Structure 1
Amino acid sequence: MSTMQCTHRDHTIIADVVEHPGIPIPWAGGCRITAPDGRTTRRLPLPLEQAFLAELESAQRASIAHGKWLVDQCLDQGVALFDTAKA
C-alpha cells in the first residue's frame, strides 16, 4: 500500500489510514503533520462522523484534506497543532 502525502504551506502532510477488516467501511482516516522545524504531530484522526470510509483512496484523500485544514487553522487562527508540554 502506498502512502499519500503532500506539502501544504511548508508543512508535510502524510495520510495515516488504518484498516479495520470485517466492517463495511473499514478505512479509518487520519494524518500526521511535519512542520518546517521538524516537529511531527501524533496521528490526528478525522472527526468521528467522517472517520470511516469504504475505499482506501477516499480515506487517504480525506485525510490529506483534513491535514491541510488543520495547517490552515494553525497558521491563520492560531490553533495549536502540536501538543504542548505540561508544567
Structure 2
Amino acid sequence: MATTSVAQVAGSASDREEHAMASLHCQHRSYTITADVVEHPGIPTPWAGGCHITDPEGHTSKRIALPVRFAFLADLENAQRASIAHGKWLVDQRLDRGKALF
C-alpha cells in the first residue's frame, strides 16, 4: 500500500509551498515517487506537475512532466497529487507491461 507524506514547516506561505513541493512523495511497489511541481507565476494555471521516480536499486529518473494536456493546474495540492498519481501509473506500466521508465 502506498503512503504519502508532506512535511509541515513553520514560516511564510511561500516557504511552506517550496518545502511541500520538494517533500511530497510515496512508495509504490518498491519504487519511490517524488512530486516535482514548478510554479509559473502570472498564468491562470501556474503549477506544472511532474515527478521523479527512484527504482529499488537507487536509480532516479529525470523530471517526468505530466502529459501536456494535464500539465498545468491552478492549485499546488492538486498538481502534487496528479504528479504522484502519474508516477504510480508509470511504475505500473513499467512493472506490468515492461515499458521503459528511464
Tell me the TM-score normalised to structure 1 length. 0.93
SS at match of 1:25: coil
- Structure 1: runs of 5+ lacking an equivalent: 83-87
- Work out the percentage of aligned pairs sharing the same amino acid: 68
Q: Which residue of 2 aligns with 1:13?
A: 33
Q: Which residue of 2 aligns with 1:77?
A: 97
Q: Does 1:28 align with 2:35?
A: no
Equivalent in 27, 43, 46 of residue 66 of structure 2 = 46
How far did residue 69 of structure 1 move?
0.1
> How many Å separate the matches in 2 of 1:66 and 1:44?
9
> Greater relative contact order: 1 or 2 (C-alpha under 8 angstroms, separation 6 or more)?
1
Tell me the TM-score normalised to structure 2 length. 0.79
CA RMSD of aligned residues (A): 0.5
Equivalenced residue count is: 82
